[in-house]
Amino acid sequence: MACDLAVVGLGYIGLPLAQRACAVGLSTVGYDVSAPVVDGLATGSSHVDDVSDGEVAAMGAAGFRATTDPSVLAGAGTIVVCVPTGLSAAGDPDLDSLRAAIADVAAQLRPGTLVVVESTSHPGTTEEIVRPALERGSGLTVGEDFHLAYSPERIDPGNSSFTMSNTPRVVSGCTPLCAKHAVAFYGRLVDTVVVARGTREAEMAKLLENTYRYVNIALVDEVALFCDKMGIDIWDVLHCAATKPFGFTAFSPGAGVGGHCIPVDPRYLAVKAESEGFSFDMLSAARQVLGRMPRHVVQRVAGLLEAQGRPLRGARVLLLGVTYKPDIADTRESPAFAVAALLRAGGAHVSYHDPYVPSFDCEGTPLSRRADLAGALADSDLALLLQDHACYDPTLLARAQCPVLDTRGRTAGVRVTRL
């Protein structure tokens, strides 16, 4: 079946892209290797925070369908690859999903098609991995028979101010003609298109965006560690510094970094640099600092309990918010995993409260979920605010009978200690 667009990978990148394409009138299909994802979309159920069930229903009404059959790609004028590119168990870049998706695309590729990669990877991925695989698998030539482009995703889950349409989109192509086709495609979806010099520049821009955040969060975390040692209120320091109208961007400390980008993208950059004989010393330092934060948080928990005459072992510790950012259901790379593991290793009984997460495992062991926040606070020895969901009323936390360690700087009270 011919269509304007086929989206490969219907996760947090691909599904919003498909939704936006349907909204602007592009005939769109989705391909995903996950049968549960495809079956859920067929029944109008969304698995992505930024796309509602109602929007999935509207997509269906507009003709969208999802499938696990890669042959659907053969009829598409544009194919956009949005599969995850995470880290292996050893912490190295894992491109297996991207390689598999490109193989599926190559087998179905037809002359005249525009192929775009949105998945994050190191500079050179489009030219050195994707292009040869597509040409080898299809027998077609980039720039002559089909067009190949790279456009890094800029999805920020839960951000209602900057959506796909009003966030500038960087595009690039393997040839000027490839870039021209990519500009024409994204020009229908977003308000502003920024053309990069080449695919390597676009790939590097994506890594720089998140590495910038990674390094600056690490800096603020280390400042927080120093302030704790000196008895300085880091949150007041940040408040004062943020009043400067130029030359300073505020970042917040916490128990660590999480999500699909910030903990992952700098690793892609570091490994690629190492392969080129270059060392990113600042990335290594940032990684060390960020890796210390979960243990620092647990040490603070133990200190607060000891001040109450209670050891960590046997204490009932309640985690408040286990997602990687506020008011979404995504737990990928959340620092709550490391914090929970360290607490349990110290002998604490750990439970959690999070309205967005129905189940949460720590190293294969499910943690007890508390549905009643007030009741959970009443029978815990300490509450640890890891994520500042809107449901966590500072007044309620300030009145809790148990000590509260606030890693987000939201709460004040006699029994509240801030990171």
Positions annotated as catalytic residues are 261
* Structure tokens, 23: 């909204």
Beta bridge partners of 179: none
Calpha distance 239→142 (Å, rounded): 52
**Residue 130 DSSP code:** I
Calpha distance 337→343 (Å, rounded): 10
Closest by Cα among 419, 358, 414 to 384: 419
* Contacts for 15 with CB less than 8 Å, ≥ 6 apart: 7, 30, 41, 46, 47, 48, 51
* Structure tokens, 78: 């544009």
Calpha distance 45→52 (Å, rounded): 8
Stated as kind and residue range, the H or E segment containing 362 is strand 361-362
Q: Is 361 helix (H, G, I), strand (E, B) or coil?
A: strand
Q: How many Cβ atoms are within 10 Å of 238's Cβ, its own excluded?
A: 19
* Contacts for 119 with CB less than 8 Å, ≥ 6 apart: 9, 13, 81, 82, 83, 84, 85, 97, 98, 153
What values do phi and psi take at 217, rounded to 5?
A: -65, -40
- Burial code (b: 16+ CB inside 10 Å, e: under 16) for 347-359 equals ebbbbbbbebbee
The answer to whether 115 and 142 are in contact (CB under 8 A) is: no
Helix axes 199-230, 234-241, angle to 10 degrees: 130
Stated as kind and residue range, the H or E segment containing 31 is strand 28-31
